[in-house]
Structure 1
Amino acid sequence: MRYFVPKFRSIHHLLVVLVLAWLVVFIYHERYSPYFHAKACKWPRVSEYETVDGSETPAPDDAGFDAQLETAHIMLIADPQLIDNHTYPGRNELLLDLSKHTADAYLKKNYRALTRFTQPDHIIFLGDYLDNGRESSNTYYAHEMNRFRAIFKKPSFVQNFLTSTPGNHDIGFGNGVIEDSKTRFEENFGPLNYHTTINHVQIISLDTPSLSATEENIREDTSKYVDFLDSQPKTGPRILLTHVPLYRDPAIQKCGPFRESDSFVLGGGYQYQNSLTKELSKEILEKIKPDLIFSGDDHDYCDIIHESTHLEDPPVREITVKSISMAMGIKYPAVQLLTISANTGSEKSYDDPTIHYQTSICYLPTPYINIFSYVIMSVISGLMILWWNIKHRSTRLQAYGSLSSYPLRSLAESVITVPASSGNPKTSTKLSNFLKGQDLAEDINTVPLPLYTYTHVNSSSKWTQKLHKKLKKVTNSLEKSIYKLSVVEFMIKWNITGFLKHSTGLGVFIIGLYYFGFYLTL
């Protein structure tokens, strides 16, 4: 066995080996794993010939494949939903801080790896940026915004960094939309309804939480914006962005093989509804006439086709993007990669109503695997340090000997004399037996304490009853003191004090290595 397990002549050698092992584990989980998954994500290539679901159709024989295509790469991010003090009511404050740190670190390191290796031209968010953005005080909201900006920084190579699509956790939903929260959202993230053009494709973001209200003062601005888009002639492809997915019939419209849960379940609750109503969805499709829809809110992936109510209008594909967060109840967080193109060849013009695109899922590392690895490493480190200290306990025993020779123990034995009036033979017998057992050792000669005497107490005497109570308290106190001495003896005998010292020192160093060497350097 000694040929496979190195012999550690000093505890410092063992600690150095453990630190190096921790360093390797940190490098793998905090650096290599995020970049490995990011490098596995490739931008989908676009051809001129796609169907509505993004798949290619056979090209004509005389069609050239050398047509010049301008491509734009767009990364879509849904539901970061930074957990805060309101996310887990009743959770211990220390555990809550640890949960926030773990979720933030996951988002930060993976977002950085994704943007570094994929180099997107544009980044679009689909709502629910903060878990309790709608009801936070202004001071707390400012603090949470600083967290969001620290995690999701705009890279210098990104042309558009669009965060204007509002979610129900940002402003509320339906008649529960909070006007002050809408104003605060616009100040920090941008206009609630907007449109822009990327590569000659119109990108339209819609405030569907407000549009879902029945109160006119809440839905008025978004309703007018939809009517405005309806009045404008459609001269090119349109992509609609909405936090809340459009209505779908789960029995007919299946979400596809990439969804984790079995089906898309329609429902709602306080300040949320996981799809728009059938009537509102129909109105949006008829007035905006999108060619492609991206939504969020559900956290899981869903890919469906909306059939048009008019024969002249083509069917519309909607993709519900998976959440990027590890805390949203899904096993495999992800972002969506979208490549769109505008053909600049002689046979095509920019007002071509056909959208040319391809899209794919980009998966992040599986959550909690790193936490599991750290727990296993902690157990292994603790066991190895404990093994070393127990193995070298003999030197400590020679230095300190047995506790029976300690002055404190001798003093305790000499003063434990229970008078004849103490009145409880069971206590004295128990104490005598206890002290006998504390000094048993193979190489130590001990003399047991004599059994304490017992004399009946006259219950009619108040003075003797008070004396009995005081003596009982003293006896109990001395029993506890000697019990503590036995614990100390056990710790010294098995060198537990050395184990605590070494494991604590290693733990502090490892935490510092992680925090300053990995987390703060992101």
Structure 2
Amino acid sequence: MARPYSSKSSFTYPPRYYPDNSTSLLDDLRALVAQAVRALVRFWRERGRRMAYATVLSLAHRLRQNLTYHRLVSFPHLLVAAWVVVLLWGERWAFHSKVESCHWSNWENWPAGADPHRVALVADPQLIDPHSYPGRPWPLNPLTMLVTDNYLRRSYNQLQWQLDPDSVFFLGDLFDGGREWKTAHGEFKDPEWGPHPKSEQKYLKKWHKTYGEFYWLQEFARFGDIFFNPWVKSVAGQGVGHKRRKLVASLPGNHDLGFGDQIKVPVRNRFETYFGEGNRIDVIGNHTFVSVDTVSMSAASSAEARRHDLKEIYEPVGRFLGGLKKEKQKAVDRELRFLRGEVPEGQFQHKIEHLDKAKFDDKPARDIDAPELPTILLTHVPLHRPPGTPCGPLREKWPPTKPPKGQTDPVLPDHRNAISVSAGYQYQNVLNEKDSEDLIQKVGNVVHAFSGDDHDYCAVTHSPAQAGVPEITVKSISMAMGVSKPGFLLLSLYNPIDPATGKPLPTPTTTTLQTHLCLLPSQLSTYLRYVTLALVSIAILAIRAVLVPVLGLTPFALDPAHPSSVQGGRASGRRSVLLPVFKAKVDDYDEYALPRGFSASHFLNGNNAATRDRSGSGSVPGLVPKGHHGRRKSQGKGSAAGKWGWAGAGRGRARAAPRIEIPSEGEEEEDGYGGGGGYKGGKWKARNSKVRQQPRSVVAVVVREVWTTVWRVVWMVVGFFGWLAWRG
């Protein structure tokens, strides 16, 4: 009886929850972990090992089935082999073939014995990032970045490995959203006269919070992995004695910095810190390359320059252009001294003096009388031209308009074939007319200009006001820039000079440079081929599936009822080795003991439909201990329990365990259950292995065959394509 409640009695906390004896949360977690580990160990010992063993055997058995000769050379696998060839062509060999056709020897036309300096001009890689397609969901944006990066990597690798250019110049727009990623230093906000368009304003908060300096550094490493690493490996593989090689990627584009009066100076400082000065001079192949940051230069002629102080944006490029002619002479003089093998002179005398007394204006003065080499102008934004100036037949977007009958000159103006003379937020398709004229005049001796920005090819010859300079706008190398066939431009330079004087040597040629447009594969056409082949493959597999029951062809799908019966395309009738042929229960089996009074009739659907012996006690056919075959006599009250050891009164546990035997192949016995199986002679007999299968309908066979073959082709082809994408 429970003790009555007493006010004098006091409640005692369990030790675990008593305030003075309470355990910490860490102890509770340790106890839970220990309990979980013990449960896993117990599960592994009792059932886990057997389950793992059975799984391994099943997988090994399935693998053995699929490695038979007739499975390996089956039609679906032959179709997969065809897909492998097509994917290798579209993802690898097509790039090799396209770049191979651009080999220097296929288009260079220099005198015999000439040793030209070969240059590759790469424009607008414009790495895809969250700024490119801000509305795309998560899975599509990373997939787009992977596909476009692989295209750039494969194209550029072939450029380096096959063409092996001496120098490489990038013409800006290295990133797509480089100007949008917040800097670690300096003020980063839109000027009041140049806010983001409404379509982008809803993303600004996320961009500034998520994509900052660290993200830009990741993009810089991504650019280096695609473009710098192959160049470094190519240089390292050349060994000693190769020509001097140079890679210049410091020319900025409007997607890297912005344009004109909307440029943020901290963004430009970050870009130049990692890529180098945007305004520079390089003497290559006896030509002077002048790179000009025209996106910053355009701020001086903007309308906002008259209302706001924008000198911080355009002053650096102004100072560069102001002293450009003198700097060009110095660069040519250094090159000539190098060709003559002379040691460069020091600017200061070698002596020790105190810093507060040092004079830095006593540089040794030396008259420089270096000759003028042909100058090549590099700018991201194309030079000015009248609206409708045609770009020529190599422009992809719109070919030139056909002239009227009897007219031989090109149609002017041809707005479809021309670069649009227009501007907008953070872009301007061409420079202002005055800026272009001033730029050509300050650079001086420009024999050719190369630009980017437009993404498509455009070749024009400018007006006399711009010194009649020929200009080529280079195609984008990216597949995501609106051109079906991306490309790059090859430039071959041959201008032999006398190292002593720098004057050109006589040659039979009248020009010092030749160009060639190298086109890359159309990724859209490649994907259309994949789609076409996929539809053809499905149709072929469907036709074959229909012919399997009609013509009696060997099915590819394994029989689900007898997965081990298909060997070499024919049913062997052998029983699976995974099925036991003999099972003897242990004598001591406590877990099988039933409660007192439990009869065998409880096993038969709960309706007492058990087969009864003469005494009326319930029993199950076949569950007869060894040594009692055919004996079915009543043994009195509780004989069933005593017979089976099911908690019979005063009998304890049974010592004689029932035995189940499965006859081997060939032991066929007819019984009331049919098929050579069932109970006979006191033993359970398994049905004969040669079981007659129920005939399936033709539709079921066809559907199963279609599903099995299509699935096999799909996962193997998709897996191989994924491996190619992962490898780059």
| TM-score of the aligned structures, taking structure 2 as reference length | 0.51
The match for 1:177 is 263
CA RMSD, 1 decimal: 3.3
Q: Residues 192-214 of structure 1: CA distance to partner in whole angstroms, max 9, x if unpaired?
A: 11111102211111111111113
Which amino acid counterpart does residue 33 of structure 1 have in structure 2?
A: A
Q: Which residue of 1 aligns with 2:391?
A: 255
State the Cα deviation string for residues 6-56 of structure 1 (Å, max 9, x = none). xx9869712311220111102222222111111111324355xxxxxxxxx
Alignment correspondent of 2:24 = none
What is aligned with 2:662? none
Deviation at 1:367, TM superposition (A): 2.6
Q: Which residue of 2 aligns with 1:195?
A: 281
Is 1:219 the counterpart of 2:282? The answer is: no
Of residues 260-269 and 337-346 in structure 1, the stretch that sits farther from structure 2 once superposed is 337-346
Contact 1:491–1:497 at 8 Å: present in 2 too? no
Structure 2 distance, partners of 1:366, 1:490, is: 47
CA distance in 2 between counterparts of 1:241 and 1:280 reads 15
Residue 241 (structure 1) aligned to one of 365, 368, 378: 378
SS of the residue 2:221 aligns to: helix
Cα gap change, 1:231 to 1:333, in 2 (>3 Å): same
* Contact kept? 1:46, 1:356, Cα under 8 Å: no
Q: Following TM superposition, by how much is the alpha carbon of 1:222 offset from its aligned partner in structure 2, in angstroms? A: 0.9
- The alignment status of 1:365 with 2:521, answered yes or no, reads yes
Distance 1:81 1:120 in 2: 22
The runs of 5 or more residues in structure 2 that have no matched partner are 1-68, 182-211, 239-243, 300-304, 330-370, 399-416, 562-695
> What's the CA shift for 1:347?
12
In 2, distance between residues paired with 1:330 and 1:159?
A: 30
**Aligned: 1:45 with 2:108:** yes
Residue by residue over 1:416-475, the C-alpha shift from the partner in whole angstroms, topping out at 9 and shown as x without a partner, is xxxxxxxxxxxxxxxxxxxxxxxxxxxxxxxxxxxxxxxxxxxxxxxxxxxxxxxxxxxx
Is 1:510 matched with 2:695? no
After superposition, the C-alpha distances for 1:92-139 in whole angstroms (9 at most, x for unaligned) are: 332333322222222221222222221211111101111111112223
Is 1:15 the counterpart of 2:170? The answer is no
Cα shift at 1:86: 2.1
Task: Work out whether residues 254 and 304 of structure 1, in 8 Å CA contact, stay in contact via their aligned partners in 2.
Answer: yes
The answer for the alignment partner of 1:464 in structure 2 is none
**Further displaced range: 493-502 or 328-337:** 493-502
2:252 pairs, out of 156, 160, 166, with 166
Instruction: Measure, in 2, the Cα distance between the counterparts of 1:344 and 1:305.
Output: 27
In structure 2, relative to structure 1, the CA distance for the partners of 1:372 and 1:329 (3 Å cut) is same
Q: Report Cα offsets for 1:402-426 as digits up to 9, x if no partner.
A: xxxxxxxxxxxxxxxxxxxxxxxxx
1:473 aligned residue: none
Change in CA separation of 1:142 and 1:495 when aligned onto 2, cut-off 3 Å: farther
Measure, in 2, the Cα distance between the counterparts of 1:190 and 1:501: 58
Counterpart Cα distance in 2 of 1:11 and 1:490: 27
The 8 Å contact of residues 243 and 297 in structure 1, kept in 2 or not, is answered as yes
Aligned to 1:467: none
Query: Once the 2 structures are TM-superposed, how far is the Cα of residue 498 of structure 1 from its aligned partner?
Result: 6.2
CA distance in structure 1 between the aligned counterparts of 2:708 and 2:482, rounded to whole angstroms: 39
Q: May I ask how many residue pairs the two structures share in their alignment?
A: 404
Q: Which has the higher helix share?
A: 1
Q: Which residue number corresponds to residue 281 of structure 1?
A: 436
| Alignment partner of 1:303 is 2:498 | no
How has the CA–CA distance of structure 1 residues 494 and 189 changed in structure 2, closer, same or farther, with 3 Å as cutoff?
farther
Percent identity, aligned pairs only?
33
Aligned-pair distance for 1:393?
8.0
- Residue 35 (1) aligns with residue 35 (2): no
Shift of 1:299: 0.8
Under a length normalisation based on structure 1, what TM-score does the superposition of the two structures give?
Answer: 0.70
Q: Does 1:110 align with 2:158?
A: no
Q: Distance in 1 between matches of 2:92 and 2:85?
A: 10
User: What SS does structure 2 have at the residue aligned with 1:240?
Assistant: strand
2:386 alignment partner AA: D
Task: Please give the residue correspondences for 1:66-145 in structure 2 after superposition, counting only pairs within 5 Å.
Answer: 69-136=114-181, 137-145=212-220
- Report 1 or 2 for greater relative contact order, CA contacts < 8 Å, sequence distance ≥ 6: 1
CA contact (8 A) 2:171 2:378 kept: yes
Q: Which amino acid is the alignment partner of residue 514 of structure 1?
A: F
| 2:576 match | none
Q: Which amino acid aligns with 1:374?
A: Y
237 and 387 in structure 1: CA distance in 2 versus 1, 3 angstrom threshold: same
Partners of 2:95 and 2:158 in 1: how far apart?
A: 6
Matches of 2:543 and 2:390, distance apart in 1: 56
Aligned to 1:478: none
* Cα distance change of structure 1 residues 86 and 347 upon mapping to structure 2, 3 Å threshold: closer
In structure 2, relative to structure 1, the CA distance for the partners of 1:219 and 1:194 (3 Å cut) is same
Q: Which has the larger radius of gyration?
A: 2
The partner residue of 1:229 within 312, 321, 324 is: 324
Structure 2 Cα separation of the partners of residues 332 and 10 of structure 1: 41
Aligned residue type for 1:270: Y
Correspondent of 1:268 among 411, 414, 423 = 423
1:292 aligns with 2:448: yes
DSSP 3-state at the match of 2:377 = strand
Helix, strand or coil at the partner of 1:255: coil
One-letter amino acid of the counterpart of residue 167, structure 1: G
Q: What is the CA–CA distance in structure 1 between the aligned matches of 2:432 and 2:698, rounded to whole Å?
A: 67
Quote the Cα distance in structure 1 between the aligned partners of 2:698 and 2:140: 30
Work out whether residues 549 and 698 of structure 2, in 8 Å CA contact, stay in contact via their aligned partners in 1: no
1:434 aligns with: none
Paired amino acid for 2:169:
I
- Cα distance in 2 for residues equivalent to 1:298 and 1:324: 12
Distance 1:20 1:225, change over 3 A: same
